[in-house]
Amino acid sequence: MSASERASREAAARNELEALAASEGAGREAATAGTPQLPPPREPGSYKIALVCLGNICRSPMAHVVLADRVAAAGLDDRVEVVSSGTGDWHVGGPMDRRAAATLHAAGYDGSAHRAQQVVASWLDDCDVLLAMDGQNLSDLRALAPGGADSERVRLYGEFDPATPGAEVPDPYYGGDEGFAEVLAMVERTADVLVDRLAEAVSR
């Protein structure tokens, strides 16, 4: 192969990579275009996001692990803190459901460090936003505030789901493995949106 042919092929390969990157970027922008913004941070330059379900052993810890992974990959982990909790106290101090952990592990995530905790009223002031997995979780969160919770900061997690905006994340606890796979798919695509929104929030 001549030097000119090699240079031509290298240029074509570079153009192909640039086109692919542009296409992926456009796809990402299209996915986030219809989703809402996060509320502004209480302290500029940092953000604390809480993910809340019923017992903090299935949905919210899966969402927590995936979002924390995305945050770290985006280089935001020094400015963004991800936490999770449950509205109930049944599993406080325990690990996540073994099926949730196994589903995460099969997808390359590590949920072994998780320990369940219960949300308390002080989280409403400490966190920049709290996202509830379903409508009942949302009602329970808002009930923690005597004068009513700030609706901008206490919201439904599914608002940020680009595929089914506003959908609840179904509780897989009483079902089979397929329910956990469904939850993982939902939280992965939603995490992709949230990490972009978090990047915007900490840059304000």
Active site residues: 53, 59, 171
Residue 200 contacts residue 38 (beta carbons within 8 Å): yes
Tokens read off for 189: 């695509």
